[in-house]
Amino acid sequence: MMTTSHANTMTVKERPVSPLDKQPEKAEKRRDPWGVLLEKVGKNQDREAYRQLFEHFAPQVKYYAISNGIANLAEELVQEVFVSIWRRSCLYDWRKAAASTWIFTIARNQRIDMLRKMQRTSAEMAVETEDLWQIPGENEDEPVTSLHRLMSERRVRESLSHLPEEQITVIAKVYMEHKSHQMVADELDIPLGTVKSRVRLALNKLRVILQDQNV
């Protein structure tokens, strides 16, 4: 396990070209407050920090459940997500992800897992939810990408505020209502191509699409 200063030094040497990464020495100052709380939970089982995280994120997770069509399981999802946050907090590393991003992936995985258990047929699948949905390498030290990860949430938040509402609506349906692009097109009564182009425009702004060779 690398120390913080170590990882930062390495990031400076091999820093990505993104302009936001030009001042990595300021990364420490930019730490998000939720990440600080999450680390307190991980290191010291700090219950007050945990309660503050709960007050901020539990209402988001509850809405996430409702918008995903499992309103009757909303409180249960909140419980599952927060038990998971408590247990996994020792693995959280602020250099690798903003706390909200880390919590989003837990909420997503728990939502998938809950639906999977509900729909479970007599035959069980050999692979578990996390085997398919947890990004491999997340628990490793990847100093080159760590700062990029840390910055990406801030950058996404800023970029999103400049996106037209019609693009945000489409993205919200994909993320919050687990709708495929086709389902979003049907619901908004617009062609699938329009949905895809709105998403592509948005992802372009968010610089996710840079490496796409085929669009």
Partner 1 sequence: MTRHHPDSLSLMEYSAGNLSDPHALCIRLHLERCPQCRSRVDTLDSLGAVMMDHQPKVSVADTSFDQLMARIDNTPEPSPEAVARPKVDPLMKLLGQDINDLPWKRQLADVSVLDISDKFPGQNERVVLQKLVSGGKAPAHTHRGDETTIVLQGAFSDQNGVFNQWDFVVLNEEDEHRPVAVGCEDCITLSVLSAPLKLTGTFTRLLNPFLR
Whether the CA torsion 26, 94, 211, 188 is positive or negative: it is: negative
Instruction: Select the residue interacting with partner 1 from 38, 78, 147, 185 (CB under 8 A).
Output: 78
Q: Which is nearer to partner 1, 8 or 173 (CB)?
A: 173
Any contact of residue 31 with partner 1 (CB under 8 A)? no
Angle between helices 165-176 and 47-67 (to 10 degrees): 100
Residues 189-208 that bind partner 1 (CB under 8 A): 196, 199-200, 203, 206-208
Distance between CA atoms of 141 and 6, rounded to whole angstroms? 11
Beta carbons within 8 Å of 61's beta carbon, 6+ residues apart: 77, 78, 81, 82, 103, 107
Instruction: Select the residue interacting with partner 1 from 8, 38, 149, 167 (CB under 8 A).
Output: 149
Q: What's the closest the beta carbon of residue 167 comes to partner 1, in angstroms?
A: 11
Q: Which is nearer to partner 1, 58 or 190 (CB)?
A: 58
Distance between CA atoms of 58 and 77, rounded to whole angstroms? 10
Any contact of residue 44 with partner 1 (CB under 8 A)? no
Q: Which listed range, 1-9, 23-31, 52-60, lies at the site for partner 1 (CB under 8 A)?
A: 52-60
Any contact of residue 212 with partner 1 (CB under 8 A)? yes
Any contact of residue 176 with partner 1 (CB under 8 A)? yes
Instruction: Select the residue interacting with partner 1 from 101, 141, 188, 190 (CB under 8 A).
Output: 101
Please answer whether residues 18 and 148 qualify as being in contact, where contact means their C-beta atoms are separated by less than 8 angstroms: yes
Any contact of residue 209 with partner 1 (CB under 8 A)? yes
Neighbouring C-beta atoms of residue 82, cutoff 10 Å: 20
Task: Count H helices and E strands in the chain, helices first.
Answer: 10, 0
